[in-house]
A and B are shown apart, each in its own frame.
Chain A
Amino acid sequence: MKQTPRHRLRVLPGFGLALGYTLIYLGLLVLLPLAMLVVRSTEMSWSEFWAAVSSARALAAFRLTFGLSLAAAAVNAVLGLLVAWVLVRYRFPGRALVDALIDLPFALPTAVAGITLTALYSKNGWFGSLLEPLGIRVAFTPLGIAVALTFVGLPFVVRTVQPVLEALDPEKEEAAATLGAGRWKTFRHVVLRPVLPAVLTGATLAFARAIGEYGSVVFIAGNMPMHTEIVPLLIMTRLEQFDYDGATALAVVMLAISFLLLLAINALQARFFGERRAA
């Protein structure tokens, strides 16, 4: 048996093989293709690149994508916290079923979500036929995109907040109560403060998912340039016009933003788990 006595954990075999395979597969399937995207964008001149990402149509798409993703993440932050609270603290018939159903947006193919939401909110749909007489148009407007993005982001906040609420020590709430705090004050100081980092992490995850979302949005959006065209769709349109440079430039900007968000999520999680360990 080969052993390296210097290293406690080197009792187990297979390190070189496992790490080597991991790096080669990761490199070939993910890193190399993404690197090619960046390389290709550097082959463009700066003015070409800038023109592709700062045209009026591109700017409108960026504004729409980020604005609505933020709105959907905010809705999910508030309602996700509420749902997590109800699932963790209250007992009611069918709770286990509701809890299992939360992940439906993760499991349901986005195209199915897209056509279903469109059918529900269009003029003759179950929701659309109620909202349209009130002057509220959802399908084929920015509001419809926000609805789709809220749907795909729904599980994130619930699933990050749930374990934190479960781990919360009820004695602290009792202590606050004995010290004379009302329920609302107790909630704000004793519950909300430790839960807030989880809400923020979940909302950031939902936001990161929303800015890249394609399938659930394209059906309900209407896809009017300048008005209801999201960035992933604009990338797709450029590609279909064989404007590879235009698609690449937009994709590189989105890739950079996604990468920054991934780092932000990691930092949030590291800080937040650090806090939990200290508590």
Chain B
Amino acid sequence: MRLAPRAAHGATAESPAARLAITVIALLFLALFLVVPAVAVVAEAFSEGVRVFVAAITEPDARSALQLTLLAAAIAVPLNMVFGLAAAWAITRFHFRGKGLLVTLIDVPFAVSPVIGGLVFVLLFGARGAFGSWLDAHGIRVIFAVPGIVLATAFVTFPFVARELIPFMQALGSDREEAAVILGASGPQTFLRVTLPSIKWGLLYGVILCNARAMGEFGAVSVVSGHIRGQTNTLPLHVEVLYNEYSFAAAFAVSTLLLALALLTLLAKRFLEWRIERQLARTNGIRERAR
């Protein structure tokens, strides 16, 4: 049953005036909180001219910060990707006791403050930490050094891949994998030829979100870094150092790199969401026809 749109207008839709008011309030809120800050980053970056901008992003300290950021992400993201695959395989393909608890525990790094994510590694590996004297005796530095930055980054980005893959692999179901195994495929063959091709978009989705956070993490990395210029500064830490030295234009110039990363991430995220929706719709279609 459908009522004539005009007759029902009063109760199934807002009046045009209310509609306009609601839209304006919502868009104004988003403009003030999202669009203006994004524009301001670029405006501030070029406020002292193009030369200051170029100098800020090409100077040696900025280059070494970029390298360290890339290095930390290049270690932390693959580690968490392998974990995400293992966790999603165990959780979506098998029944076992304590599964609910495991899923909750995977989310823990999202729930705790990034500062605590850095602190725990200082308590373990710092000069006065549990393993501090042992590491010192063996000449190994973790805190105020690159290993600490990698650990803190891995901690805060820990859940990303797993939590995106779990609902996706749940939705895809295991019919095709079971068929492959029954037809004689080995475990690795099944994983590489059946599972991986079907989850590639979901996996990439998790990896991209994980990477954005890994490259942008500030709090946790700040605790373990020691802020040694040219050595233990990542890009976000370099931004802080420049800002605290009142080199505002330079701080915002480096920030534009991180803003560009954020916008690229959002673009990729949108594209992958579209691919994933299509794939799930197709899977459901096949299942319907099979019935």
Contacts and interface: CB of A to CB of B under 8 A. Distances in A.
A222 to B, nearest CB: 14
Contacts of A183: 10-15, 18
A181 B27 CA distance: 29
B53 interface: no
Interface stretch (B56-64, B197-205, B213-221, B283-291): B213-221
Contacts of B102: 22-23, 26
A215 interface: yes
B34 A101 contact: yes
A261 B191 CA distance: 36
Interface string B246-274: 00100110010011011101110110000
Contact of B266 (A103, A214, A248): A103
Nearest to A186: B11
B112 interface: yes
Nearest to A94: B27
A1 interface: yes
A236 interface: yes
A7 B212 CA distance: 40
Contacts, number: 296
B3 to A, nearest CB: 6
Interface residues on B, range: 35 or more
Contacts of B40: 116, 119-120, 126
Contacts of B18: 183
Contact of B259 (A25, A102, A112, A154): A112
Given A33-B120, A183-B13, A108 B113 contact: no
A127 B37 CA distance: 10
Interface string B26-65: 1101101111111011001000000000000000000000
Contact of B37 (A113, A239, A248): A113
A98 to B, nearest CB: 6
A235 B41 contact: no
A15 B181 contact: no
Interface residues of A, number: 93
Contact of A174 (B3, B27, B123): B3
Most chain A beta-carbon contacts within 10 A, residue among B111, B184, B223:
B111
Interface string A79-105: 100110110001010000010111111
B126 to A, nearest CB: 8
B128 interface: yes
Contact of B181 (A13, A33, A83, A100): A13
B112 to A, nearest CB: 5
A113 B85 CA distance: 32
B286 to A, nearest CB: 20
A11 B104 CA distance: 26
Contact of B218 (A110, A120, A239): A110
A271 interface: no
Interface in A222-279: 231-233, 235-236, 239, 242, 244, 247-248, 251, 254-255, 258-259, 261-263, 266
A265 to B, nearest CB: 8
Contact of B8 (A18, A112, A177): A177
B136 interface: no
Interface stretch (A34-42, A54-62, A194-202): A34-42
A109 B266 CA distance: 13
A34 B108 contact: yes
A101 B265 contact: no
B122 interface: yes
A215 B112 contact: no
B181 A12 contact: yes
B29 A107 contact: no
Contact of A21 (B86, B96, B218, B248): B86
A33 B34 contact: no
A71 interface: no
Contacts of B237: 111
A113 B109 CA distance: 21
B183 to A, nearest CB: 10
18 contacts: A13-B181, A15-B93, A18-B90, A26-B105, A33-B124, A79-B26, A101-B34, A107-B266, A107-B269, A111-B237, A112-B262, A119-B44, A174-B1, A174-B3, A177-B12, A232-B115, A244-B122, A248-B123
Which 8 pairs from chain A and chain B are nearest by CB?
A: A212-B113, A109-B216, A177-B11, A214-B219, A215-B218, A33-B120, A13-B187, A107-B262
Given A14-B187, A34-B112, A232-B114, 10 more contacts: A18-B89, A26-B105, A30-B158, A33-B155, A86-B26, A102-B30, A103-B269, A104-B34, A109-B216, A263-B104
